[in-house]
Amino acid sequence: MDLTLHVWRQKGPQDKGKLETYPAKNVSPDMSFLEMLDEVNDGLIKSGKDPIAFDHDCREGICGMCSQVINGRPHGKQEKTTVCQLHMRQYNDGDEIFIEPWRAKAFPIQKDLIVDRSSLDVIMQAGGYTSCHTGGVDDANAMLIPKPTADYAMDAAECIGCGACIAACPNSSAMLFTSAKVAQLAALPQGKPEARKRVLAMTQAILDEGFGNCTNHYECEAACPKGISVKFIAKLNREYLKTMIPTSTDA
Amino acid sequence: MNLFKSTVGRKILMAVTGLMLVGFITVHLLGNLSVFAGADAINAYAKHLHDLGPLVWVFRLVMLLLFAVHITFGVQLYLENRAATPDNYAIQKTLVTTFSAKTMVFTGLIILAFLLYHLLHFTVQITNPEISAQNLPLVDGHLDVFTMVTLSFQKVFISLVYIVAMIALTLHIFHGLSSWVQTLGLSTGSSQDKVTYIGKIVAIAYGLAYIAIPLLLLARIVK
C-alpha cells in the first residue's frame, strides 16, 4: 500500500518545528509502524536527507519508549497497543497519517518525535520506591500477600511509563502514571511504611515538573497501551486523604 | 497548608465545595418549584426565608466562602492546566471525555455572571424596578414574590438569560456529579461506577426542572 505521512520535524529543543509530508510507498501490511518508518528513513538517508528521529527500544511493547501521537491518538488507533506493536494492516492504501510527538510542557521536544521524559523519573525519585535493607535475600514466602492484593498490585505495575496518559490528557496531567506507582506500592506490605510520605512527595513532584492537574476526563485510561485503570487515581486520592488523619507518631 | 497547594488537595476541595453548592441548588430548586403550587405557596416560602433574619446572613456568608473557594481554585487549576499544555496537536482527538468536562471553567464563569445578574434581579431588585416585589402592592401584608417572578419570566430577554444560564449549570453539574466519587477516592471500579450514571441523570433532572420555571411562565402555561 501507499501512504502519505505528515510528520513533525523539529531540528532541536529551540527550533519552532513544523509538519512535513513524505510518501511511504510499497508498505507491507505485515510491517510494524516503526518498521514502516525505518523504510521511510532509509529512503531519506539515501537521498541525502535527515532521517526522522524517533524513540524506540525493545520493539515488543514493554519498554515504553515509542512515543508517537498518530492521527491524534497516542500510540495510534489500536487499543492497548504500543506504536511498535501497531501493524500496518490497520491502515488502508491511500491513508493520510499524521505523526506527532507527545505534547506537554513537562515533555520538551528534543528532535522530531523524540521528547525528554525525565520528568517521569523525577516523580519516581520523589517516592516511587521502597526502602529496604541490603543483605541476604528474604525467603519468598516469609511475607504473606493475599492473591487479590498481589493481582491488584500487578495490574498497577503493568504501567511501562511511556507517557501516553500525559499525551492524551487535555491538562497534560501525570496523575494516571503517578497513581499506578502509588497504588502498586501502597497495596503491598513492603510499600506501607512509606505510603504517607510517598503520596505527598510524588503528587508534589507532578506540579514541580510542570504537569497539569487531573480533572477526571479519563482520556488517560483510554489511551494507555497497558490498560491502566483510573481506579488507581481514586486509590491515590484515598491515600492522599489518609495523610490527613493523624497517626500516633505525628503528635 | 498542603491541602490548598497540592494537586490532589485542591481537587478534593473542588469536589467538596461543589457538592455543598449542589446541596444549595437542591434546596433552591425545591423552593422555586413552589411557584407551580400558586401564589400563596411561593409567597409563604419567601416570607419564611425573610423571617429567618440574621440566619440568612450567616447562610449568605457560608455561600460566599464556598463560592470563593470553588471559583478561586477552579480558575487557578484551569490556568495551571493551560500552562502545562502549551501546544495543540495538529489532529486533536478525545475518546471518552465529555463536552461538559471540557467546558467546566467556561460554564462555571457563565454561572458566576448569571449569579450576579440573578442577585441584582431578584434579591437587590434593581434591574427591573417596575416589576420588583418591593414596588408591587403587598399581598396580605407580605411581598408579592409570585407576581414579580411571573411578570419577570413573561419577558423574553429575562427568560432567555435564565434558560441559557440553567443550560450552563446543567453542563457544569453533569461533570461534577459524575466525578466527585472518583475525586473523593470512593470509586473502586472504573469510570463506569453506578454513581457516575446516577450523577448524570440527577444533573439532567435538575436542569429540566430549573428550565421548566422560566419556560412555562414565558409560554404562559403557568400564570
Considering the four listed CATH numbers 3.40.50.300, 3.10.20.30, 3.40.462.10, 1.10.640.10, the one that applies to the domain covering A3-110 is 3.10.20.30
C-alpha cell at A24: 511511504
Domain boundaries, chain A: 3-110, 117-242
**Residue B129 backbone dihedrals phi, psi, to 5 degrees:** -60, -30
Residues of A in contact with B80 (CB under 8 A): 207, 212-213
Q: Which of residues 142-201 of B touch A (CB under 8 A)?
A: 175, 179, 181-191
Considering the four listed CATH numbers 3.20.20.80, 1.10.1060.10, 3.90.1150.10, 3.40.50.12500, the one that applies to the domain covering A117-242 is 1.10.1060.10
Round to whole Å and give the CA distance between B24 and B32.
12
A122-126, A150-154, B151-155, B191-195: the lowest-pLDDT one: B191-195
Q: Is A117-242 the same fold as A3-110?
A: no
Q: Is B93 exposed, middle or buried (0-12, 13-18, 19+ CB in 10 A)?
A: middle
**Residue B76 falls within a domain, yes or no?**
yes
**Residue B167 falls within a domain, yes or no?**
yes
Containing domain of residue B124, as a range?
2-86+96-218
Give the chain B residue whose CA is nearest to the CA of A232.
B188
**Residue B91 falls within a domain, yes or no?**
no
Round to whole Å and give the CA distance between A98 and A96.
7
pLDDT tens digits, B104-143: 999 999 999 999 999 999 999 999 999 998 889 888 888 8
Interface test with A, best of B2, B7, B177, B187 (most A CBs within 10 A): B7
Contact A59, A34 (CB under 8 A): yes
For residue B187, is pLDDT > 90?
no
Task: Write b or e for each residue in A180-189: b if 16 or more Cβ atoms lie within 10 A of its Cβ, otherwise e.
Answer: bbbbbbbbbe
**Residue B223 falls within a domain, yes or no?**
no
Q: For chain B, what is the domain count?
A: 1
Position of cell 414565558? B218
Q: Given this model, what pLDDT does residue B193 score?
A: 73
**Residue B57 falls within a domain, yes or no?**
yes
**Residue B213 falls within a domain, yes or no?**
yes
Where do the DSSP E strands lie in A15-153? 18-24, 69-70, 73-74, 96-100, 109-111, 114-115
Q: What are the pLDDT tens digits along chain A (251 aa)?
A: 999 999 999 999 999 999 999 999 999 999 999 999 999 999 999 999 999 999 999 999 999 999 999 999 999 999 999 999 999 999 999 999 999 999 999 999 999 999 999 999 999 999 999 998 888 888 888 899 999 999 999 999 999 999 999 999 999 999 999 999 999 999 999 999 999 999 999 999 999 999 999 999 999 999 999 999 999 999 999 999 999 988 877 65
Q: What is the ipTM of this complex?
A: 0.94
CATH number at residue B212: 1.20.1300.10
